[in-house]
Structure 1
């Protein structure tokens, strides 16, 4: 007979021992039932024990809600069950299974989503700066800045710039002034819609239009890249980035960005390559003065994974210099670009092993549907290189030894479900391997990757799919709270910073819970 689990005894066990205990406990119940040793009453007891074992093993399963949290959870679960029930009855409104481009209008009206928008979400740990700001803001502000020019490169991709002599930056055609193009349209709003499509993947028919979505996706970085090196645009854009994250109840972020670029101004002057870091520090300090409950940001330097070994070594040397100059601001290193077409981590070992011992790796690894290739084996090399977190880790579910290593070593996987869907790894989000990771209590944090490129803001949309599609139907506040606290736990905040973050998060969370229970939230 399978005994009832003692919660107090269970909480005292280390995390890995908890998992092994629950697994053996559940297997004992199944073995007893298979041997025909149970009565009808015993069968029900074993059945309940197995269900409890799975729930205890799941992300958030070990967390106990206080009285107020339990009341807020009841309210949240009412919203969730209503939306799931509606989706079950009408496939066209089943947001949990729909592509984000088809579901977004429904999600925007969702009570679950409005709850999540107002929920404190801790830290944003997987975000690329060039695609972090909403495309509508870019159109309404940056495209109206005086002096913006547009051309096309040899592949027909639009390139935007504010340079006086932009011909050196990838142009094949003559530059034209964006302001003149807009005036040539009968309706400026039509031009703005056209312009937004240059930096937004949205389409009402993603299943037809984006058979090669990565090509369009990477083209958009080329389109917007030189605009963001223009000093006035750089400042405005990154201020807006902080605004959008803060307005989505994010208190801290770790921002991935390429740093080996010169800023330039309206007079044609260029600045040393460390100027971008100095600008970001000034923006961060000014933002924190206006928002004392925002804890700031740190930078993870990125470089293209298609580079040569020699180029990678030069980029790492440049990162080393910035890390030494700004040790608590430029904190990590990563490789970016489509993994399937890029070079493997293994091929860059001579360069990656030259990183300073104080540097941290935050490696994209396993962002692929491939199995048994150099791409999914990037996860293996990421672990051998002692990565601090794993970006995406989509293929991790296919490698049980590596999966167990991730759990045993307490390495967080940065989950970005909408990115994986938009970039064609998964269609129905309920089939995302993140569901397995949640079920097995793999260390997880939620990130939004490139929200500006697919008509999103902040991180709430990714939280929506995590709780509605990846988590079981009966999962609520325990999963959400664990993911929020994980975002601080697995951040690179220093101990004093982390202590302050937990204190602030606890206050924000308690205030939010009390407002939900009192009915003071806008849902």
Structure 2
């Protein structure tokens, strides 16, 4: 319908006769000008969402907040949070009413997050590294490894193993020691343009952080605490459901016993069920199982693992993906024979287009993801350069999992106003807002990414209609069953109305005494 509307609008406006020189009919000019603006706005995401009178009043409040922050940025560029790098803008974002509004807002489903990087780095340091038995060692590349077991061959450590608790006791200031530890699992720096001047530098640090935290994450007592915290951070940021990328690491216990991935899946399910029982308006999580694109044998092995796990847990381990840096890894096209071994019941959720390249083997992942009938595309950053593929995504309702801060922190875009998602929103391309690896850049939950979506990528006049569309579409593009979606939408509607009431009570017009 929207494609048809574009054609009609073009034909109408192509018949407009413009005169050279002065404007002969100012009234006609103004009419045509307004018509074009209205038609363009009608194509945008959220245009189909009509606001109730209650929502209209809340939108008025929100637009007041938004206009205030955008005006401040217009007058003072060093305070223009919508244009600044997240590391420079974070503290200012948190002080504004827009962010507080977004924190309060129900956000529906989170459809793209990696479990080992999902939890606040501060929580990891203050909790996991204080657990009895935490060890630290260093590799020859000076990389910290956190673990609860001594396995030099596995960890690649060239140093001895040190008890973190003893190091902390010997330190002059335990807070300074913790800050230094946290730098091992957080990309945040004061001047990212100097510390990470190119993709290679930031991706090297990014990959290393997974190595730093990975073995500690696999320790059964730590895993249980971590996954509970992951769900807690999502729930209290008003996310009601998540589909999590995970390789389901083999877990080990205090005695060093290693458990198979089937055990990890059962642990996930058990934690999830307990959390949902405690918070019944949270729909829980499901797993998208992942292979890694740096080695075809690893991909082949992950496909084999997925087949068995999907067979054992078909309603929990719902799909398959291949993760890792696209610019350095194997393409989907190069592993087609391996992917052909996936069961027909598997749903695919491929990363694609997380690159700045055009016309290279890297951005062909978008093409092959579509041809392989992926349900969603992770990132899709490069899609805007491929008009035919963009039309295919729209025609087939393939949801884009857009992770604004991830794309910025990993050096694809600096000024978020230049993010291609602005085009996707303008043309109502299916998309949801996701957070990817928030724990690795000092974020928590999904509100920060929503901030950039509405403040940087959306038009200045976009408000609650667009926000509501992104929230509701996140449920549409999820792999919840029809019964689960119905339940989720009922919960979302109730929470949305409660949110509207809270906004009006807090910021609405007060009756005169």
TM-score (norm 2): 0.96
Q: Which residue of 2 aligns with 1:5?
A: none
What secondary structure sits across from 1:364 in the alignment? strand
What is the RMSD of the two structures over their aligned residues, measured on CA atoms? 1.4
| 1:11 equivalent in structure 2 | none
* Alpha-carbon separation, structure 2, partners of 1:325 and 1:333: 15
Q: Which residue of 2 aligns with 1:190?
A: 176
- Give the structure 2 partner of residue 508 of structure 1: 495
Distance of 2:392 and 2:15 partners within structure 1: 27
Counterpart of 1:62 (choices 35, 48, 55) is: 48
Tell whether 2:476 aligns with 1:489: yes
Match of 1:3 in 2: none
The answer as to 2:219 corresponding to 1:230 is: yes
**Residue 307, structure 1, aligned to residue 265, structure 2:** no
Post-superposition shift, 1:170?
Answer: 2.2
Map of 1:294 onto structure 2:
282
Tell me the equivalent position of 1:279.
267
Q: CA contact under 8 A between 1:288 and 1:296: conserved in structure 2?
A: yes
- 2:13 equivalent to 1:29: yes
Aligned partner of 1:214 in structure 2 is: 203
Q: Find the counterpart in structure 2 of residue 13 from structure 1.
A: none
Aligned in 2, Cα 1:282/1:166: closer, same or farther, shift over 3 Å?
A: farther
Between the aligned partners of 1:110 and 1:359, the Cα distance in structure 2 is 43
Query: Retained in 2: the 8 A contact 1:164–1:268?
Result: no
CA contact (8 A) 1:151 1:160 kept: yes
Task: Measure the CA separation in 1 of the matches of 2:343 and 2:261.
Answer: 20
2:31 — aligned with what? Answer: 45
> What is the deviation of 1:495?
0.5
Give the superposition deviation at 1:267. Answer: 1.1
Residue 461 of structure 1 corresponds to 448
The residue that corresponds to 1:348 in the other structure is 335
8 Å CA contact 2:292–2:298 kept in 1: the answer is: no
Task: Label 1:26 to 1:42 Cα distance change in 2 as closer, same or farther (>3 A).
Answer: farther
Does residue 19 (structure 1) correspond to residue 3 (structure 2)? The answer is yes
Q: Secondary structure at the match of 1:335?
A: strand
1:150 is displaced (CA, Å) by 1.0
Q: 2: distance between equivalents of 1:23 and 1:237?
A: 51
Partners of 2:151 and 2:302 in 1: how far apart? Answer: 26
Q: Spell out, residue by residue over 1:85-144, the C-alpha distance to the aligned partner (whole angstroms, 9 max, x if none).
A: 001000111000000000000001010000000000001111000000000000000000
Residues 370-409 of structure 1 aligned to structure 2 (within 5 Å): 370-409=357-396
How far did residue 19 of structure 1 move? 2.8
Alignment of 1:242-281 (within 5 A): 242-259=231-248, 261-281=249-269
Q: Secondary structure at the match of 2:355?
A: coil
Q: Quote the offset at 1:262 in angstroms.
A: 1.8
Measure the CA separation in 1 of the matches of 2:474 and 2:144: 37
Deviations 1:133-188 (A, max 9, x none): 00000000000011111112232211111014454332222211111221221010
Q: Paired residue for 1:368, among 355, 361, 364?
A: 355
Distance 2:326 2:382 in 1: 12
Give the corresponding residue for 2:322.
335
2:467 to 480, 501, 508: 480
Structure 1: how far apart are the matches of 2:84 and 2:365? 30
- 1:21 Cα shift? 1.5
Question: Does residue 158 in structure 1 map to residue 158 in structure 2?
Answer: no
1:321-359: CA deviations, max 9, x gaps?
000000000001111111100011100100111111111
User: How far apart, in 1, do the equivalents of 2:432 and 2:333 lie?
Assistant: 26
Which secondary structure state, in structure 2, belongs to the residue aligned with residue 343 of structure 1? coil
**2:78 is equivalent to residue 89 of structure 1:** no
Report Cα offsets for 1:441-466 as digits up to 9, x if no partner: 00010000000000000000000000
Three-state SS of the structure 1 residue aligned to 2:141 is coil
Q: Residues 35, 401 of structure 1: CA spacing in aligned structure 2 closer, same or farther, 3 A cutoff?
A: farther
2:91 corresponds to which residue? 105
What secondary structure does 1:173 align onto? coil
Match of 2:116 among 127, 130, 138: 130
Indicate if the aligned counterparts of 1:33 and 1:43 stay in contact, CA closer than 8 A.
no
Structure 1: gaps spanning 5 or more residues: 1-16
Deviation at 1:405, TM superposition (A): 0.6
Q: How far does the alpha carbon of each residue in 1:196-235 deviate from its partner, in whole angstroms, 9 at most, with x for none?
A: 0010001000010012100000000000000011000000
**Where do 1:435-474 residues align within 5 Å?**
435-474=422-461
Q: TM-score, normalised by structure 1?
A: 0.94
Give 1:35 shift. Answer: 7.2
CA contact (8 A) 1:30 1:46 kept: no
Paired with 1:116 and 1:444, the residues of 2 have a C-alpha distance of 18
Instruction: Map Cα deviations across residues 397-441 of structure 1 (whole Å, 9 max, x no partner).
Output: 000000111111111100100000000000000000010110010
**Which residue in 1 is equivalent to 2:127?**
141
Secondary structure of 2:261's partner?
coil
2-side partners of 1:520 and 1:182: how far apart?
46
Q: Which runs of 5+ in 2 are unaligned?
A: 509-513
Indicate conservation of the 8 Å contact 1:107/1:113, yes or no: yes
Whether contact under 8 Å (1:159, 1:170) holds in the other structure is: no
C-alpha distance in 1 between matches for 2:444 and 2:232:
10
Q: How does 1:2-17 map to 2 (within 5 A)?
A: 17=1
Equivalent pair of 1:200/1:454 in contact (CA under 8 Å): yes
User: Per-residue deviation at 1:24?
Assistant: 2.5
